[in-house]
Chains A and B, each alone.
Chain A
């Protein structure tokens, strides 16, 4: 019975640790290491990145949602810390530009082919 209890408790604590690690990894993959060149926090080994990793893991253990963590870090470091910015007014051009350029290109191709005909 004792052995069984120890087994169950260990199993749950390992599962929980894995879940925290997975969430930490997924969040830090979407955070920019602000003192590195083109690396995410997840990829970097700088002090800054290590601090953020520890901090994110701590916040997850304190039952904060991903949004809470992102919001907190944005309030401290600005939108630059996010690698893939949300679809917000501020970044609307970033999201729309490729589609816009594609449509403009298509328009010119069709116009040109009409002219040739």
Chain B
């Protein structure tokens, strides 16, 4: 009888611990979005008009057999201004950066680049957000590091920093 009662209490405690663990785990799990989904997958061969020449280009027309960076930016995005010097630093390291100008006014985008200098090899226009969706992006700024086989190695949400630069420089 006592053994049966003890077993019941033990089961109750065990069940409580399991339920508590599930709730606790769910509470602290960052489930809102998973930025790692695109890592390791093939970079889509984005195709769009360019900002300066208004000519349709695809990524494979701009880069071949080399690592490169894809950066989503907009003139109206404040964090993009913060990361701009880091992009310039990467440009000076001879790494090609392809800009994706997200839902922007072309005149403002050009003014932005003129004001803060141009780190981009080419800028593709993303007028309706379709290019960003192909990249699995959530907003601006977002940056992708792509290796020479067109595989996405890293994705950074928000303004890039020196850690990202290190990652880029260390990638062969």
Cα A81 to Cα B128 in complex, Å, equals: 20
If the complex has contacts A51-B129, A51-B133, A54-B128, are A76 and B37 also in contact, measured as CB distance less than 8 A?
yes
Q: Would you call the interface of chain A mostly helix, strand, loop, or mixed?
A: helix
> In the complex, which residues 24-71 of chain B have their Cβ closer than 8 Å to any Cβ of chain A?
31-34, 37-38, 41
B134 contacts partner chain A, Cβ-Cβ < 8 Å? yes
List chain B residues, Cβ under 8 A from A3.
none
CB distance from A79 to the nearest CB of B (A): 9
Candidate in A51, A77, A78 with the most chain B CB atoms within 10 angstroms? A51
Q: Are B34 and A47 in contact (CB under 8 A)?
A: no
Are A77 and B130 touching (Cβ within 8 A)? no
Contact check, A77 vs B129: say whether CB atoms are below 8 A apart: no
Select B132's contact among A51, A73, A75, A80, beta carbons within 8 Å.
A51
Asked whether, in the complex, the Cβ of A76 is within 8 Å of the Cβ of B38, the reply is yes
CB within 8 Å of A: which B131-167 residues: 132-136, 138-139
With beta carbons under 8 angstroms apart, the residue of A58, A75, A77 that contacts B33 is A77
- Picked from A35, A52, A78, the residue with its CB within 8 Å of the CB of B133 is A52
Which of B32, B103, B136 meets A76, CB within 8 Å? Answer: B136
Residues of B near A34 (CB, < 8 A) are 32-33, 138
Asked whether A55 is an interface residue with its Cβ less than 8 Å from the other chain, the reply is yes
Complex: A55 Cα to B133 Cα, angstroms = 8
Q: Which residues of A contact B31 (CB under 8 A)?
A: 80
Report B-chain residues with C-beta under 8 Å of the C-beta of A47.
Answer: 103, 129, 139
Q: How far is the CA of A34 from the CA of B136 in the complex (A)?
A: 11
Which residue in chain B gives the minimum CB-CB distance to A52?
Answer: B133
Contacting residues, chain B, for A50 (C-beta < 8 A): 129
- Residue pairs across A and B with Cβ atoms less than 8 A apart, 24 shown, are A34-B138, A35-B138, A35-B139, A47-B103, A47-B139, A48-B138, A48-B139, A50-B129, A51-B130, A51-B132, A54-B129, A55-B129, A55-B133, A73-B133, A75-B41, A76-B37, A76-B38, A77-B33, A77-B34, A77-B37, A77-B136, A80-B31, A80-B32, A80-B34
